[in-house]
Amino acid sequence: MDTGISVELFAPCGWQVGQHAVADDAKLLLRVLAMLESAQPGVEEVMRPDDQHWQALEARVDLCLHLLSELLSAQSPPPPAVPISLSCEGARFISPHPLTPGERGVWSVWLADRLAKALRLDTVVETCQPHPQGYQLQVRFAIDDEALQDWVDKTVFRRHRREIQRIRKAEHGI
């Protein structure tokens, strides 16, 4: 399904040739990311008595995620962050190394600082063009799992919707 919708990110990403991504890992990561992103900051609600308890628990979980991310990053730091254009069908990003169109591999992207694990998706290189910072790659996702594709679509749509909200708020000075 070609939606034409994409979002612009600045995140660490990488490419591994000859590997295969595990769809269940990717679905779990995208489901957790959706839950973390569903709590929008700045939304004021009426506090119920048990809300403080849940906020304290969420703060502890956030701290644990942060510490885990720090530990994992110290052992194996993610690659440098680069501009990425992410769509439901694939991604465009800058790589320090050229790749051959048609080459298959795994594209990894760290979508949230709070999550120490990268989203890993099977991909096929579509184009590789010289770029001042290396090579601009266009990869197409090679997702056979319908549920995983659905989670990728939801993630892109959610981030696209938030991008539009941010732009509208900035235009109206909110």
**Which tokens go with 35?**
């839950």
Cα gap 153→159, rounded to integer Å = 10
Residue 41: the pLDDT is 56
Closest residue by Cα to residue 108 from 21, 28, 8: 21
Q: How do residues 68-126 score in pLDDT, each as one tens digit? A: 766 765 677 788 999 999 999 999 999 999 999 999 999 999 998 777 789 999 999 99
Residue matched to tokens 């900035």: 170
Architecture of domain 6-37+79-171: Beta Barrel (2.40)
- pTM strictly above 0.75: yes
Ordered by start, the domain boundaries in the chain are: 6-37+79-171
- The residue with greater pLDDT, 143 or 113, is 143
- At 168, the pLDDT band (50, 70, 90 cuts) reads confident
